[in-house]
Amino acid sequence: MSEWHKTACNLCYVNCALEVQTDGRAITRVRGDKQNPRTAGYLCQKPQRLTWYGNHDDRLTTPLRRRADGTHEPISWETALTELAARLRAVRDADLAAGRPGSFAYVGGGGQGNHSGGGYGHALLRWMNSTRFFGALSQEKTGDFWVNGKLYGGQTCHTSEGVEECDLLVVIGCNPWLANGFNRARNVVNTIKNDPDRKMIVLDPRRTETAAVADVHLALRPGTDAYLLGAVLALIVERRGVDEQFLDAHTEGFEQVAAALRKVPVDAWIAHAEVDRADVERAVEEILAARAMTVRVELGIQQGRNSTLNSYLEKLLYLVTGHFGRPGTNALHSWLVPLWGESRGQRSEITGFEYIGGLLPLNTLAEEILADHPHRARVLWVESSNPANTAADTALTERAISECELSVVIDIAYTETAALADYVLPAASQFEKWEWTFFDFEWPTNYFHLRRPVFDPLPGTLVEAEIYARLFDELGVLPDQETLDRLTEVARDDRANLLKHAGPLLQDDPAIAPTLLYRTLGRTLPDGAASAAILWPGCHTAARKMTVPVQRALGTDLTGAALGEALFDRLLSSPSGFAFSEHTYDEVWTLVRNERIQLAVPELLDWLGNLDPERDGVEPDYPLSLVNGQRRSHNANQIMRAPGWRKTDPDGALRVRTEDLAAIGAADGEWVAVVTRTGRIVVRSEIDDSLRRGQVALPHGFGMSVPDGRGGRVTHGPRINLITDAADRDPIAGTPHHKDVPVRLERATAVEGVSAERDRDRVRQLIDHGSRT
């Protein structure tokens, strides 16, 4: 019998609330959940066949152990966890005996919509006395976090956009029409397009769907964002377009910023960006005329050239003009539990890169493992992540994984990283467990959504919290059952004082806190919601730090521990999600850690002053700019492995302008080679004249090896990171320049074309036969 269940999408970090109809273990229909107070029934085109996420031929249902010949054999959970505990303890003991930092490296912390395992995995990292934490955030966002730390006083200070109420939306390096990125994105773009009193400016090399409806589209040359943003800011200062009242009341350091901007050679930088001065002037006029401007950015600049500088300049754009902390402008947002942490200047001994938000750059993972250094990483633990495909320089990353003394993967699927690991542990999918995301980025009202299971876990799989609890049992670090039972009764009868009773245990070993909560408080929670116990302390912290905003959101006058308990109870009893904080606009200043915004960041002002168009020209041997990871109608991330999920673009084609394809003598649909200093891949070409001349694009979410239905495997679409360079990265954050990879095109050889066509046919047969591979 078919049923409807409330859940959420896992294909981007907006995580729109859904209702899904099921038949057996299949999701048969999907619709937006109108009862969700944030997304209110909105749904884009991508989640219509979410059943393919957890129902395919690469699902894991038993632990695996690597044999000497490189293949895997199934083993029991008891065997896997016993062996892992012994090996982990041996590594920890050896690190302690040698007086070195923990040699354990942790990659993951949760996928797009499943963050429930991250806190438990991070606890293992702490128990291993290590700080080496890598993830998708440090492949994309840490430059932004670093800038926020300098401006607002904390790296967990994070900005939101007032897209619903703005009269000017500035979109830089993203395409909300296809990539979403903010709530009800298509509705917002359409509403602005159809309102004569609202305007939109887009900075993007390509004529995207969003750029096509903008009032001003600045189609800059790839890699020149910092030059164009610097020129725009210089013109604003020149025209006295800054908000002096706002700057005097709320900021420090504007004079240093203005002095740097007055030195910008505006005409030279606009020419370097290859846009018309008249269009830039028009954009500046729209900015100066705006009542409420909000700036929306994404990976186009956060993984572009000068990426950390780009993040600084886009924030200066709304700060110097005073578009902050008012309706329709940018602001900071609250957290129920921060998704990342704070770092205070600690650096890696191996690479020298700074920890940002508690993370090291994923681009440096291989170096941390392969370095000839006594403190290199020796153990790799990967959870809900696939660095063998997502980290730059696939060959180097694969070598690093293979040379680890111990490598472990926790995942729902037999990923490319799992194929290289010593042990693989099968997890329940996010639709088979209580789950949530910490992507609560809204202002002034913020929301949280704890989702209930849609299906039972597949036999042989475990929820991540249970995996870590059993591992900690094997490690012998949890208290005995009598103590756990006593604390469980405290949680049942006197929950607010649970941590007080558990204090002596946590003082001895604070790393066990998440698992201790899971094994005690978790046992008292309704309907098997044990893994959500880790959210309980966060509710109390939020209630203590944001008492009035939490009271407003819950409609209560409770205070202290009673408010924290009420918040946790509301979380557990809101299957469509709920508002956990409601601020007034003037309260944005309570979220700024410094008393005033510190506009002058010396490192970035120096970087701005050292920009040189002569140095940043096109490379003759690699004259084209590749967008690595373009978002399209039906592509997602590395969790959507089944080729049949994609209704369009089944080959993950290289999109290229007519003249750039003709330049190598190739025609639309032919196989071509994309060549870099690092490698060469063969892809199918597809004409797309919305791209800027000299720009080509490959999509993300491809390059996965899947069962071919004949006992073998076939790679589905381009494995892009075979051609990227881990050293081509931001100097501060280490994030890769994936949106501006220098490449050249060549015609595929006859042998390459035959091989590519054969693999394409094998994948098409899987799709045609309805396989959920």
Using CA atoms, how far apart are residues 396 and 380, in angstroms rounded to an integer?
15
Using CA atoms, how far apart are residues 761 and 651, in angstroms rounded to an integer?
10
Sheet holding 132-134, edge to edge: 72-74, 64-66, 423-426, 406-411, 379-383, 104-107, 132-134
> What 3 state SS string does 644-682 have?
HHCCCCCCCCEEECHHHHHCCCCCCCCEEEEECCCCEEE
547: pLDDT confidence band, cut at 50, 70 and 90?
Answer: very high
Which of 393-397, 504-508, 574-578 shows the lowest mean pLDDT across its residues?
504-508
Averaged pLDDT for residues 366-392? 97
Q: Is the pLDDT of residue 57 over 60?
A: yes
Q: Is the pLDDT of residue 683 over 90?
A: yes
Distance of CA 562 to the CA centre of its chain: 34
Residue 245 is encoded by which pair of tokens? 């009242």
Q: Identify the helix (H) or strand (E) that includes residue 567.
A: helix 560-572
The radius of gyration of the chain's CA atoms, rounded to the nearest angstrom, is: 26
Q: Is the pLDDT of residue 578 over 90?
A: yes
Residue 582 is encoded by which pair of tokens? 């409601």
Q: Is the pLDDT of residue 486 over 90?
A: yes
More confident residue, 145 or 181: 145
Interacting residues of 764 by C-beta distance below 8 A, sequence separation 6+: 650
Using CA atoms, how far apart are residues 342 and 453, in angstroms rounded to an integer?
32
Closest of 225, 417, 303 to residue 734, by C-alpha: 303
Which of 52-56, 407-411, 449-453, 519-523 shows the lowest mean pLDDT across its residues?
52-56
Q: Is the pLDDT of residue 115 over 70?
A: yes
Q: Is the pLDDT of residue 773 over 70?
A: no
The percentage of residues in the chain with a pLDDT greater than 90, rounded to a whole number, is 90
* Strand pairing class (423-426; 159-160): unpaired
Q: Is the pLDDT of residue 770 over 80?
A: no
Domains of the chain by residue range: 3-54, 161-332, 624-768
Which amino acid would we find at residue 183?
A: N
> Helices then strands (H, E): number in the chain?
28, 28
With beta carbons less than 8 A apart as the criterion, state whether 664 and 594 touch.
no
Residue pLDDT, tens place only, 301-338 = 999 999 999 999 999 999 999 999 999 999 999 999 99
Residue 45: the pLDDT is 83
Residue 747 is encoded by which pair of tokens? 């015609």
Q: Identify the helix (H) or strand (E) that includes residue 303.
A: none
Residue pLDDT, tens place only, 589-604 = 999 998 899 999 999 9
> CA-CA distances (angstroms) from residue 255 to 150, 152, 228?
17, 18, 21
Residue 588 is encoded by which pair of tokens? 């944005």
pTM of the model: 0.97
Residue 710: the pLDDT is 87
Q: Is 624-768 CATH 3.20.10.10?
A: no
Q: Is the pLDDT of residue 771 over 70?
A: no
Residue 541: the pLDDT is 97
Secondary structure class of 641 (helix, strand, coil): coil
What is the residue-averaged pLDDT of the chain?
A: 95
How many CB atoms lie under 10 A from the CB of residue 622? 15
Averaged pLDDT for residues 241-250? 98
As a CATH number, domain 3-54 is 3.30.200.210
As a CATH number, domain 161-332 is 3.40.228.10
- Which residue reads 């959970």 in tokens? 77
Secondary structure class of 402 (helix, strand, coil): helix
* Strand pairing class (26-32; 64-66): unpaired
Residues, the chain: 773
With beta carbons less than 8 A apart as the criterion, state whether 629 and 174 touch.
no
Closest of 692, 593, 133, 105 to residue 370, by C-alpha: 105
730: pLDDT confidence band, cut at 50, 70 and 90?
Answer: very high
> CA torsion 479→481→487→488, rounded to 10°?
140
Using CA atoms, how far apart are residues 338 and 340, in angstroms rounded to an integer?
5
Using CA atoms, how far apart are residues 389 and 414, in angstroms rounded to an integer?
13
The percentage of residues in the chain with a pLDDT greater than 70, rounded to a whole number, is 99
Distance of CA 422 to the CA centre of its chain: 26
Residue 91: the pLDDT is 98
1: pLDDT confidence band, cut at 50, 70 and 90?
Answer: low
634: pLDDT confidence band, cut at 50, 70 and 90?
Answer: confident
DSSP letter (8 states) at residue 375: T
> CA-CA distances (angstroms) from residue 683 to 247, 665, 696, 757?
51, 15, 12, 10
Which amino acid would we find at residue 756?
A: A
Q: Is the pLDDT of residue 506 over 80?
A: yes
Residue 647: the pLDDT is 77
Averaged pLDDT for residues 394-415? 97
Secondary structure class of 736 (helix, strand, coil): strand
